[in-house]
């Protein structure tokens, strides 16, 4: 394969990687703090896509885009308050089951609202335009995604390292109970985490679905799982790790698609997960954990 | 109550249930929804109990059930499709490469065995992982299995992403009995008997499998599983080999999930790999939660309730009419599932123990409850176990 042939795949890989990264951050932050795989995160991402479809149908874009972001944040916040907060002292399995329940609910709700039909995603001006890079013809969103992702991640890292809330987040993820004893309002910190995660998922969904024809109720599940794998790959709890992992997975997946093994592009992601969990369970950038009896 | 009397009571209960089903099939038309619920509920009971063995009794949070059901369903279908129909079914793969069939019972066993072999291979790396990592890894494996079965290079065996059909189903097995003159005469004189047998077949097979699982749970292995669930470190200190016990639980669970998958294939009369999505695993998990994690009878009750709600009682929510209220605007396609998932969320959040908690259905306790305080009767009926 010459470079000209694989260039389109690499480009779309980088783009998809950026979109996965935005979702993966939501997973990794929540996992860092609550030790919970937020199965509903992928469905929040899907819900953001559906909201975009319904809102752009009746409103101009400069109203609907901020509105979608705001509504997604509210959705994430409500899910945390309604489904996870009451279970804070329950065994971990209960919270995970609750997360699966929320995911099931969101998918069914989406099925009800859309009537099971494929809804066409609105084309956003400028970023949906077609451009040509070298031999590859692609949408402008492909080029924008990585830069936007990196910009958002830098902002996020600054937020976590230099603000009071960021410091609280780090403290809570290090030690839940001690942080509480030090006077950190844990519920606020957790809500803030969900808000950040949902915000990034909303942005991610706009970038992701622009490349696809439409949104169906299950279209959040796969990207969600892949983003989670990316988070594990990079070391769960580590934001740069999640971003690097997401880019690697995005690129590999598209290269596999390019080599004609499309069936296995999803399987590859999970094979990677299992290998990484066995060889290096803490991921690329994760901190080593010790088991206590 | 003595153990012996308890067994007698249980046997009487089982016979009573069979008689009830018999009466139902005498007085109701065979198209009644109740038979569908009984059949599908029995199959889901088996799968739910097999998942409960893993999640509730061994404490391994696995989400691979749909993958193992897929293996079971496909194994069954591939080996039982009659040669006559193969050309039509494998039309894109020139009739497939398997040109023999095996008896249904053998195929059912084989379905379980193949699923267990896959589970063994998957378990080697995966069972070293803990809680949520195990969950996500098994979920991932289920997805990989689905991808492999849909791969068109394997088409001559699995028919790629196309449907498999025309293999023996519950209906066709029982109607096939008419080739014996005595059965033919019986069916002709009592047409309801045919429907009774069709309904009883899945119930019987699932029942036998569930009894085997219960025996396993009550054996010393089962106690070891529970010890692992409660405290791994302590269990290991007491001399339980963690790796081998976990593997055993995982393989057994997958075996029965495989059989369950084969039964589901028999029930549905066509199967396609794309139906075995992670949503299916989630549904089974929710059944287990609904019935109570760590209760076999809970899982059975949970799955009959789940199937009855999904297929029958809440159907009206989809078609515009429910409990006499007609509102086609709200009660349209999909509303049933929304209501349903809200109910499940309520159970998960406010009623975490499910219907049975960790208890089993026990006649003695119910009788005691009745005697002690007649007021509590209502609670017991609604299932506060």
Determine which of A50-64, B80-94, B210-224 has the lowest per-residue pLDDT on average: B80-94
pLDDT of residue B377: 46
Distance CA(B271)–CA(A71), nearest Å, equals 40
**Reported confidence tier of residue B385, pLDDT bands at 50, 70, 90:** very low
**Would the pLDDT of B6 be above 50?**
yes
The minimum CA-CA distance between B104 and chain A, rounded to whole Å, is: 31
**Do B115 and B21 fall into the same domain?**
no
- Asked if B282 and A267 come within 8 Å (Cβ–Cβ), the reply is no
pLDDT at A117 exceeding the cut of 60? yes
- Which helix (H) or strand (E) covers residue A214, if one does? strand A214-215
Q: Are residues B167 and B87 part of one domain?
A: yes
**Residues spanned by the domain of B20:** 1-30
Does residue B153 sit in the same domain as residue B26? no
Does residue B320 form part of some domain? Answer: no
Interface test with B, best of A92, A274, A282 (most B CBs within 10 A): A274
B361 touches chain A (CB under 8 A): no
Mutate one of A108, A225, A237, A290 to test the B interface: name it (highest B CB count within 10 A).
A108
Residue B283 lies in a domain: no
Q: Once rounded to an integer, what is the mean pLDDT over residues A36-45?
A: 89
Residue at B384 is within a domain: no
- Best probe of the B interface among A78, A84, A97, A222, by most B CBs < 10 A, is A97
Q: Do B132 and A37 touch (CB under 8 A)?
A: yes
B384: confidence class by pLDDT, cuts 50, 70, 90: very low
Percent of chain A with pLDDT over 90: 23
Chains A, B: CB contacts within 8 A come to 124
Q: What pLDDT does residue A287 have?
A: 66
| B12 and B56 housed in the same domain | no
B227 and B94 in a common domain: yes
Residue A200 has pLDDT above 70, yes or no: yes
Query: Of B139, B147, B345, which has the smallest distance from its Cβ to A105's Cβ?
Result: B345
The secondary structure element, H or E, covering residue A119 is strand A119-120
User: Structural domain tally of chain B?
Assistant: 2
- A225/B334 Cβ within 8 A: no
CB atoms closer than 10 angstroms to residue B177: 14
Q: Which tops the pLDDT comparison, A125 or B264?
A: B264
Q: Report yes or no on B214 lying in a domain.
A: yes
Closest CA–CA distance from residue A172 to any residue of chain B (Å): 20
Mean pLDDT across the stretch B275-289?
88
Contacts of A221 in chain B (CB under 8 A): 278
Which chain A residues touch B286 with a CB distance below 8 Å?
Answer: 97, 100-101, 104
pLDDT at B347: 85
Contact status of B334 with chain A (Cβ, < 8 Å): yes
Q: Are residues B16 and B47 in the same domain?
A: no
User: What is the share, in percent, of chain B residues with pLDDT greater than 70?
Assistant: 91
pLDDT, mean of residues B163-172: 83
| A262 interaction partners in chain B (CB closer than 8 Å) | none
Please indicate whether, in this complex, the C-beta atoms of B337 and A267 are within 8 angstroms of each other: no
The last residue of a domain, from among B228, B256, B277: B277
How much is the ipTM here? 0.82
Is B83 part of the contact surface with chain A (CB cutoff 8 Å)? no
Chain B residue with minimal CA distance to A91?
B352
- Segment A54-63 shows an average pLDDT of 85
In A, minimum Cα distance to B232 occurs at A293
In the predicted model, what is the mean pLDDT of residues A264-279? 82
Is B49 a member of any domain? yes
- Give chain A positions within 8 Å (CB) of B126: 274
Query: Which of A97, A109, A113 is opposite residue B285, by nearest beta carbon?
Result: A97
Contact (CB, 8 A) for B248 and B241: no
With vertex at residue A22, the alpha carbon angle to CA A19 and CA A23, rounded to the nearest 5 degrees, is 95
Residue B348 resides in a domain = no
Percent above pLDDT 90 for chain B: 26
Whether residue B279 lies within 8 A of chain A, CB to CB, comes out as yes
Average pLDDT over residues A233-249: 87
Chain B CB contacts of A228 under 8 Å are 136
Which chain A residues are within 8 Å of B132, Cβ to Cβ? 35-37, 92, 96
Residue B19: band (very low, low, confident or very high) from pLDDT cuts 50, 70, 90: confident
Nearest by CB to residue A101, choosing from B278, B334, B344, is B344
Mean pLDDT of B339-365: 80
Do residues B66 and B3 both lie within one domain? no
Which among B132, B140, B345 has CB closest to A273? B140
Task: Give the chain A residue nearest B140 (alpha carbons).
Answer: A270
Domain boundary among the residues B250, B277, B304 is at B277
pTM: 0.86
Q: Note the pLDDT tens digit of each residue in B188-236.
A: 777 778 888 888 888 989 999 999 999 999 999 999 999 998 888 899 9
Same domain, B1 and B141: no
Tens of pLDDT along B312-335?
777 766 666 666 666 666 667 778
Answer yes or no: do B22 and B107 share one domain.
no
Examine residue B385 and state whether it is found in any structural domain, yes or no.
no
Q: What is the pLDDT of residue B330?
A: 66
B170 and B246 part of one domain: yes
* pLDDT, mean over chain B: 83
pLDDT confidence of residue B292 = 86
Judged by CB atoms closer than 8 Å, whether chains meet at B341 and A101 is answered as yes
Q: In the Cβ-directed half-sphere of B297, how many Cα atoms lie within 13 Å? A: 12
Contact A105 B338 (CB under 8 A): yes
For the range A270-273, what are the long-range contacts, defined as Cβ-Cβ under 8 Å and sequence gap of 24 or more? A270/A225, A270/A229, A270/B137, A270/B140, A270/B141, A270/B143, A270/B144, A271/B140, A271/B144, A272/A229, A272/A233, A273/A229, A273/A232, A273/A233, A273/B136, A273/B137, A273/B140
Q: How far is A102 from chain B (nearest CA, A)?
A: 7
Identify whether residues B200 and B137 lie together within a single domain.
yes
Asked if the model's pLDDT at residue B113 lies above 90, the reply is yes
Matching residue, tokens 């999803």: A266
When computed from its CA atoms, the radius of gyration of chain A, rounded to whole angstroms, is: 19
Split at pLDDT 50, 70, 90, the class of B383 is very low
Domains of chain A: 8-279 (1.10.3470)
Provide the shortest C-alpha distance from residue A2 to chain B (in Å).
26
pLDDT-derived band at A292, boundaries 50, 70, 90: very low
Does residue B191 belong to any structural domain of this protein?
yes
> A interface mutation test: which of B127, B142, B282 has the most A CBs within 10 A?
B282
Residue range A83-106: mean pLDDT, rounded: 87
Residue B379 confidence class, pLDDT cut points 50, 70, 90? very low
Q: Which helix H or strand E contains A210, and what residues bound it?
A: helix A186-210
User: Quick one: B150 and B102 in the same domain?
Assistant: yes
Report whether pLDDT(B378) > 50.
Answer: no
Q: Which of B277, B301, B328 is the last residue of a domain?
A: B277
**Over 80: is that where the pLDDT of B124 sits?**
yes
What pLDDT band is residue B380 in, cutting at 50, 70 and 90? very low
B128 touches chain A (CB under 8 A): yes
Best mutation target, B59, B135, B349, to test chain A (most A CBs within 10 A): B349
φ, ψ at B373 (rounded to 5°): -140, 105
Name the nearest CA neighbour of B144 among B273, B271, B247.
B273
* pLDDT for position B246: 93
* Contact residues for B373 (Cβ-Cβ < 8 A; gap 6+): none
Q: Is residue A59 within 8 Å of A248, Cβ to Cβ?
A: no
What confidence score (pLDDT) does residue B195 get? 82
Asked if residue A46 has pLDDT above 50, the reply is yes
Banded pLDDT at B36 (limits 50, 70, 90)? confident
């Amino acid at each position: 394969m010459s470079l000209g042939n694989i260039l389109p795949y690499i480009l779309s890989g980088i783009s998809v990687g950026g979109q996965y990264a935005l979702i993966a951050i939501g997973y990794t932050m929540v996992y860092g703090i609550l030790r919970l795989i937020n199965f509903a995160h992928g469905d929040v991402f899907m819900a953001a896509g559906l909201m975009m479809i319904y809102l752009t149908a009746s409103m101009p874009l400069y109203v609907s885009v901020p509105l979608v972001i705001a509504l997604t944040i509210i959705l994430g916040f409500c899910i945390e308050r309604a489904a996870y907060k009451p279970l804070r002292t329950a065994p971990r399995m209960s919270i995970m089951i609750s997360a699966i329940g929320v995911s099931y609910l969101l998918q069914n709700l989406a099925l009800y609202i859309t009537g099971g039909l494929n809804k066409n995603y609105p084309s956003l001006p400028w970023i949906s335009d077609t451009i040509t890079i070298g031999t590859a013809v692609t949408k402008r969103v492909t080029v924008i995604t990585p830069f936007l992702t990196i910009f958002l991640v830098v902002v996020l890292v600054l937020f976590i390292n230099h603000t009071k809330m960021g410091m609280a987040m780090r403290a809570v993820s290090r030690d839940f109970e001690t942080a509480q004893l030090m006077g950190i309002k844990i519920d606020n910190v957790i809500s803030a985490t969900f808000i950040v995660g949902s915000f990034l998922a909303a942005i991610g969904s706009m970038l992701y679905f622009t490349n696809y024809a439409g949104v169906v109720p299950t279209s959040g599940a796969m990207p969600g799982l892949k983003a989670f794998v990316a988070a594990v790959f990079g070391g769960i709890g580590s934001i740069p790790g999640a971003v690097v992992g997401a880019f690697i997975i995005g690129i590999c997946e598209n290269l596999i698609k390019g080599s004609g093994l499309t069936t296995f592009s999803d399987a590859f992601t999970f094979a990677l997960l299992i290998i990484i969990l066995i060889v290096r369970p803490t991921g690329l950038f994760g901190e080593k954990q010790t088991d206590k009896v | 109550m003595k153990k012996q009397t308890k067994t007698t009571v249980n046997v009487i209960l089982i016979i009573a249930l069979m008689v009830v089903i018999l009466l139902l099939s005498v007085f109701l038309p065979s198209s009644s929804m109740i038979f569908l619920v009984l059949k599908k509920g029995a199959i889901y009971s088996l799968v739910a109990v097999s998942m409960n063995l893993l999640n509730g009794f061994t404490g391994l949070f696995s989400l691979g059930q749909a993958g193992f059901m897929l293996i079971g369903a496909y194994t069954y279908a591939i080996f039982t499709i009659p040669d006559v129909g193969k050309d039509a079914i494998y039309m894109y793969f020139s009739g497939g490469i398997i040109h023999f069939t095996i008896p249904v019972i053998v195929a059912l066993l084989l379905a379980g065995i193949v699923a267990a072999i896959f589970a063994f291979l998957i378990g080697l790396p995966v069972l070293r992982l803990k809680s949520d990592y195990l969950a996500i890894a098994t979920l991932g494996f289920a997805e990989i299995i689905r991808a492999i079965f849909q791969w068109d290079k394997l088409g001559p065996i699995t028919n790629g992403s196309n449907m498999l059909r025309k293999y023996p189903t519950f209906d066709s097995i029982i109607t096939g009995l008419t080739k014996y003159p005595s059965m033919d005469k019986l069916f002709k004189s009592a047409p309801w008997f045919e429907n009774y047998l069709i309904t009883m077949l899945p119930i019987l097979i699932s029942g036998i499998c569930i009894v085997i699982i219960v025996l396993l749970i009550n054996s010393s292995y089962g106690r070891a599983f529970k010890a692992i669930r409660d405290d791994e470190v302590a269990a290991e200190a007491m001399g339980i080999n963690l790796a081998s016990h976990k593997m055993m639980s995982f393989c057994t669970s997958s075996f029965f999930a495989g059989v369950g998958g084969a039964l589901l294939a028999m029930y549905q009369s066509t199967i396609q790999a794309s139906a075995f999505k992670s949503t299916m695993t989630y549904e089974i998990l929710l059944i287990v939660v609904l019935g109570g994690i760590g209760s076999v009878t809970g899982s059975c009750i949970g799955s009959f309730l789940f199937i009855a709600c999904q297929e029958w009682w809440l159907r009206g929510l989809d078609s515009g009419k429910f409990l006499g209220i007609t509102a086609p605007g709200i009660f349209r396609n999909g509303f049933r599932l929304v209501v349903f998932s809200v109910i499940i969320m309520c159970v998960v959040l406010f009623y975490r123990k499910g219907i049975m908690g960790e208890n089993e259905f026990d006649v003695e306790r119910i009788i005691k409850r009745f005697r002690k305080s007649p007021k509590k009767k209502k609670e017991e009926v609604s299932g506060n176990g």
